[in-house]
Amino acid sequence: MERTGADIRFENATVTYPNGHAGLKGITLDIPAGQMVGVVGLSGAGKSTLVRTINGLVPLSAGSIAVGGHTLTGRGGTQLRGRELRELRSNVGMVFQSFNLAKRTTVINNVLMGRLYHSPAWRTLLGAWKNDDVELAMRALERVEIVGKAYEPAASLSGGQQQRVAIARALAQRPQVILADEPVASLDPPTSHVVMRDLARINAELGITVVVNLHFLDLARTYSERLIGMRAGEIVFDGTGAEADEAVFESIYGRSLTAEDVLEARAEL
Amino acid sequence: MSQAAAPSAPYMGQRPSKPRRGRPTAAAVVVLAAITVWAGLGVGVDLAAIGRNWQNAVVNTTQLLQPDYAFFPKTIPALLETLNMAVIATFIGSLLSVPLAFLASRATNPNAPLLGAVRFGMNLIRSVPDILYAAILVAVVGVGALSGIMALVLFNVGIIVKLVSEALDAEDLGAQEAALAAGATWTGANRSAMLPQILPSLASQVLYTFEINIRASTVIGLVGAGGLGILIDNVRSFFRYHELSLIILEILVMVLVLEALSSALRKRLV
Amino acid sequence: MSVETATSKPAPAAPPGPGRLHQRPARPAHWGRKALWLLVSLIVVAAFWSVKIKWSALADFGPQLVKYLGLMFGPPDWSKFGEAFSAVVLSVQMAWIGTVLGILISFPLSFLAARGLAPRAVNWPLRVLFAVIRAVPEVVIAILILSVTGLTPFTGALALAVGSVGTLGKWGYESFEGVDPGPKEAVRSTGGGTLALIRWGIWPSAAPEVLSFWLYRFEINVRASAILGLIGAGGIGKMLTDNVQFRNWDAVGMLLLVVIVVTMIIDQLSGAVRNRLVNGSWRPPRSRGRNRPRR
Ligand SMILES: Nc1ncnc2c1ncn2[C@@H]1O[C@H](COP(=O)(O)OP(=O)(O)O)[C@@H](O)[C@H]1O
Ligand SMILES: [Mg+2]
């Protein structure tokens, strides 16, 4: 019943923001289906830009990105719009740094937002969800072990619980890809591990391709099979965690490793 | 950041000159005073009249303090009509306002030309006083509650859309972004991510509008649009202050009861 | 960046073992909410059912509306522009004087109505007074003071002034009571009296909001002044009744145009000043949420 992951192929993907700032400088990158990739880099390196191009939240200026059967292109090409773009997005779940839940409504309603693409407009407007969709949402909540809170307002949950609800929302899409943009940056160290473990488990059990941006190098090393280092809109490292030594670190961060860059060190502070 | 925190020594050591904020303030005061004098001349402020005629006020007030309770049965139909008009207008006004508010907020309407058009239309609707609507609608659909309700609806849409769209503008857009990222349409994202967030302020707006409607529907009757206003017009033409007094008392009780009820409800909502 | 700003309560290090979080909860029934909706629906249905309306009048509402819009605006009576403009100006003047007088009266009263600035025995009567005034429509107030100042625009201005006291008084004391306690304590701790407290502990924080309320009330008064013309106080309402009576619709159209244009200009100006006062910028604040997705 569950679907497998999709591969993601960047071809010379370029993003120039309206103010002229180069967010991505011609990235070419191949992420095979089912891989868990950690993206690290300084703040402003272009990590968010990279993942946000994958579901079209940030439009490409040039080049292309193929996600499963869909291709996003820059302004020159035939840009995905309307229903086609939404179809691509429905195959790609996204987890945000600040959880992005509608805090005043219930947990289950938040998870059901993952089914919006598949719901006809009248059901959406009336809030009359299909039983199948509710079942899917419940199962997603069970997978992140928080189904007991289904009917509570999202605002009443702790940060870690809210992020797990957000993961369930992404899972409810039955996605082929999950993107996570600094998913643990608002959480304390122990909770960060819970959330990262959830993402890793989803990747392992469901075969969903996971691309996760992380500020902390050690978290990325621990949880991802492949590490991508970014700096100034370019990829400066692509390899396994084991290969990422001190020299590689300097090329990504432009300086040597400090306690600031490691979650465990901060946890001990 | 560290540079800003440690400014060079001479700067902190020097006494700065007092900033000249006085000049714009003085200019503003002069302008405001000039407008006030101009308006005062236009209106014909005549404080002496108060000195000359204050006895009239005493006579009126004593009459007012003795409401003619025997008049009460005759006011019941108008009283009920006022309540009915307020309820119906609030209901229809709220139903129309919700979609319009979403169209009128930068946060929920990505279509710039449509956004501009809706906002302009709303400003237009809001700029016409309710009594003008009532007077015109009485001519169009005839004397009675219908014209009053329509006038109130227009008036309500103006208020609710403005306040709710401002609430939407101030709302966090995270959940909406997440819904769009999951493949939702703008309508779907707004419905499921934004609507729940503004529901409390919407409900509180609706209650507030209901209060205003009670007050307004007592007045628009003056031009024939139903409700207590028609009675007010009758009794004042014949200087029947005891009866006017009863009507005022009724409005007072109605509004105070509703205000108490709705402020209790609003406290629970927000 | 993360640990310090985390809004979360600390969560357990490991997912909790089998327990409440793992069991699907029953869907809550929300009886209270359902009862409330039922009550509201009943009230609405009762209102529709009992109101005496010839709904059939709605059938030809469209054509009728077009007909009257045609009478009013096709074209409006430009020869009445001067009269309409004077009427609107007079209404605006009434609104201005009403607002100014309302501010002068309500300003001291709202301090006396604020808790902590005057004894309870003074607070409460004032609050009741404000509530009573708010309940009475301006036109009724005007009828009451008619016998003192006669059928003049000044009567209208006075009625608006009294009406403004009701709202400005309430908004004033609410805003004084809502002021951040920090500066208040600072003034108290230096031994300042109540006047010093008001001037240095309360006014600086409350001023932007209170000033913006004054402007907002002016916007309301501009609209309310139209009603007062109906009982003879002059301005928009007078020109309206005079012309509706004789079915001079093109003159009404002219009046409507001037009202709309003048009111929209006043609203824009006042809105910009209010934004300046409250947010420090002439334009409204931008939405929160940084990375706006595009279509
Ligand atoms: N909407 C935007 N407009 C202009 N510049 C932007 C925008 N979003 C991001 N940038 C710039 O692009 C660069 C990369 O940003 P981002 O992808 O958010 O980096 P990261 O996620 O690694 O911190 C930064 O220099 C940032 O200032
Ligand atoms: Mg980022």
Distance CA B30, CA B24 (A): 10
The pLDDT value given to residue A71: 85
What would the DSSP string read from start to end of B156-207? HHHHHHHHHHHHHHHS--HHHHHHHHTT--HHHHIIIIIHHHHHHHHHHHHH
pLDDT digits (tens, 9 = 90+) for B137-183: 888 888 888 889 999 999 999 999 988 998 898 888 999 999 999 99
The pLDDT value given to residue B2: 42
Which has the minimum average pLDDT: A182-186, A262-266, C131-135?
A262-266
A116 interfaces chain B, CB cutoff of 8 Å: yes
CATH of the domain at C233: 1.10.3720.10
Radius of gyration, alpha carbons of chain C: 27
Closest-CA residue in chain A for C29?
A151
The pLDDT value given to residue B21: 66
CA-nearest residue, atom 16 of ligand 1: A46
- For residue A50, the CA-to-ligand 1 centroid distance in Å is 10
The pLDDT value given to residue B270: 58
- Confirm whether C6 is domain-assigned: no
Distance CA A105, CA B193 (A): 9
Question: Which of B151, B95, B162 is CA-nearest to residue B122?
Answer: B162
Q: How many CB contacts within 8 angstroms connect chain B with chain C?
A: 208
User: How many Å is the maximal CA-CA distance in chain A?
Assistant: 57
The pLDDT value given to residue A209: 92
- Confirm whether A152 is domain-assigned: yes
Average pLDDT estimate for A3-29: 85
Domain of C270 in residue numbering reads as 72-279
Average pLDDT estimate for C218-233: 86
Does A63 score more than 70 pLDDT? yes
Which has the minimum average pLDDT: B46-55, B244-253, C251-260?
B46-55
Per the CB < 8 A criterion, the answer to whether B136 and B225 are in contact is no
Q: Is A43 in the pocket of ligand 1 (CB under 6 A)?
A: yes
Distance CA C254, CA A83 (A): 48
Average pLDDT estimate for C254-276: 88
Q: Which long-range CB contacts under 8 A does C214-218 form with residues at least 24 apart?
A: C214/C99, C214/C103, C214/C168, C215/C270, C215/C273, C215/C274, C215/C277, C216/C270, C216/C274, C217/C99, C217/C102, C217/C164, C217/C167, C217/C168, C218/C95, C218/C96, C218/C99, C218/C266, C218/C270
CA-nearest residue, atom 25 of ligand 1: A44
The pLDDT value given to residue A52: 92
Residues of chain C contacting residue B54, judged by C-beta atoms under 8 Å apart: 148
Does C134 score more than 50 pLDDT? yes
A125 interfaces chain B, CB cutoff of 8 Å: yes
- Confirm whether C186 is domain-assigned: yes
pLDDT digits (tens, 9 = 90+) for A243-255: 777 777 777 777 7
Task: From the CA of A213, give the closest atom in ligand 1.
Answer: 21
Q: Taking the model in full, what pTM does it have?
A: 0.85
Higher pLDDT, A257 or C272: C272
Average pLDDT estimate for C59-86: 87
Residue contact A147–C10, C-beta within 8 A: no
Residue contact C135–B219, C-beta within 8 A: no
- Tell me the three state secondary structure of residue C219: helix
Does C229 score more than 90 pLDDT? no
A128 interfaces chain B, CB cutoff of 8 Å: no
- Confirm whether C16 is domain-assigned: no
- For residue A215, the CA-to-ligand 1 centroid distance in Å is 15
Closest-CA residue in chain C for B46?
C154
Region of C116 (left: φ > 0; alpha: ψ -120 to 50; beta: rest) is left
pLDDT digits (tens, 9 = 90+) for B14-33: 777 776 666 777 888 898 89
Does C269 score more than 60 pLDDT? yes
Residues of chain C contacting residue A52, judged by C-beta atoms under 8 Å apart: 291
Q: Is A21 in the pocket of ligand 1 (CB under 6 A)?
A: yes
Instruction: Give the residue from C1, C2, C295 with the most A CB atoms within 10 Å of its CB, the best one to mutate.
Output: C2
Which has the minimum average pLDDT: A45-59, A94-108, B71-85, B222-236?
B222-236
A117 interfaces chain B, CB cutoff of 8 Å: yes
Distance CA A113, CA A170 (A): 9
Partners of C146 in beta bridges: none
Q: ω before B19 within 30° of 0 (cis)? A: no
Per-residue CA distances from A239 to A34, C131, C257 (Å): 16, 72, 70
Partners of A38 in beta bridges: A212, A227
Q: Is A46 in the pocket of ligand 1 (CB under 6 A)?
A: yes
Residues of chain A contacting residue B110, judged by C-beta atoms under 8 Å apart: none
| Chains adjacent to C (≥3 CB pairs closer than 8 angstroms) | A, B
What rounded mean pLDDT belongs to chain C?
Answer: 82
Per the CB < 8 A criterion, the answer to whether A32 and A7 are in contact is yes
pLDDT digits (tens, 9 = 90+) for C184-203: 778 777 877 778 888 888 88
The pLDDT value given to residue A259: 65
The pLDDT value given to residue A77: 55
Per the CB < 8 A criterion, the answer to whether C152 and C234 are in contact is yes
Does B125 score more than 90 pLDDT? yes
Average pLDDT estimate for C237-257: 87
The pLDDT value given to residue A184: 87
Per-residue CA distances from A126 to B191, B198, C179 (Å): 9, 16, 42
Say how many domains are in chain A: 1
Does C14 score more than 70 pLDDT? no
Q: Looking at the CA of A96, name the nearest ligand.
A: 2
The pLDDT value given to residue C175: 87
Region of B206 (left: φ > 0; alpha: ψ -120 to 50; beta: rest) is alpha
B255 interfaces chain C, CB cutoff of 8 Å: yes
The pLDDT value given to residue B5: 45
Average pLDDT estimate for C66-91: 88
- For residue B14, the CA-to-ligand 1 centroid distance in Å is 40
- Confirm whether A224 is domain-assigned: no
Average pLDDT estimate for B66-74: 82
Reading the block at residue C122, the tokens are 């003074």
CB-nearest partner of B177 from C137, C152, C293: C293
Q: Is A44 in the pocket of ligand 1 (CB under 6 A)?
A: yes
pLDDT category of residue A175 using cuts at 50, 70 and 90: very high
CB-nearest partner of A86 from B175, B183, B193: B183
Does B254 score more than 60 pLDDT? yes
In chain B, pLDDT over 90 holds for what percent of residues?
29
DSSP letter at C115 equals B
Higher pLDDT, C9 or C183: C183
Per-residue CA distances from B230 to B143, C52, C134, C225 (Å): 10, 15, 21, 19
User: CATH assignment of B68-269, given 2.60.98.20, 1.10.3720.10, 2.60.40.10, 3.90.420.10?
Assistant: 1.10.3720.10
Say how many domains are in chain C: 1
The pLDDT value given to residue C108: 92
pLDDT category of residue A1 using cuts at 50, 70 and 90: very low
CA B134 from centre of chain: 16
The pLDDT value given to residue A74: 77
Does C9 score more than 60 pLDDT? no
- Confirm whether C257 is domain-assigned: yes
Does A266 score more than 60 pLDDT? no
Question: What is the ipTM score, two decimals?
Answer: 0.89
- For residue A46, the CA-to-ligand 2 centroid distance in Å is 7
Average pLDDT estimate for C232-245: 85
Does C116 score more than 60 pLDDT? yes
Average pLDDT estimate for A93-98: 92
- Confirm whether C185 is domain-assigned: yes
Radius of gyration, alpha carbons of chain A: 18
Does B209 score more than 70 pLDDT? yes
Radius of gyration, alpha carbons of chain B: 26
Which has the minimum average pLDDT: A96-105, C129-138, C187-196, C211-220?
C187-196
Residue contact C13–A194, C-beta within 8 A: yes
Instruction: Give the residue from C7, C8, C9 with the most A CB atoms within 10 Å of its CB, the best one to mutate.
Output: C8
User: How many Å is the maximal CA-CA distance in chain B?
Assistant: 83
Task: For the beta carbon of residue A250, count every other beta carbon within 10 angstroms.
Answer: 12
Per the CB < 8 A criterion, the answer to whether A24 and A7 are in contact is no
Does A229 score more than 60 pLDDT? yes
Partners of A11 in beta bridges: A64
- For residue B111, the CA-to-ligand 2 centroid distance in Å is 27
Average pLDDT estimate for B90-119: 93
